[in-house]
Structure 1
Amino acid sequence: RHAFEYYRHGTLSLYAALDVKTGKVHAKTAAHHTSEEFVDFLEQVVARCQAQPEIHIILDNLSAHKTKKVAAFLEEHPQVKLHFTPTYSSWLNQVEIWFARVEREVISRGVFTSVKDLARKLMRYIQAYTKTARPFKWKYSDVTKRVKPC
Structure 2
Amino acid sequence: MKIRHAFPAEFRHLQQIEVASGEPFRSVGMPEIADDDPMPLAAMAECDVLVAVNDDDVPVAFAAVSPVDDALHIHQISVDPKWARQGIGAQLIAALGDRRLTLTTFRDVPWNAPYYARLGFVELTELTPGLAEIVDEEASRGFTGRVAMLLLPQQVPA
Tell me the TM-score normalized by structure 2: 0.28
- Whose RCO is larger (CA < 8 A, sep 6+)? 1
Q: Larger radius of gyration, structure 1 or 2?
A: 1
Tell me the TM-score normalized by structure 1: 0.29
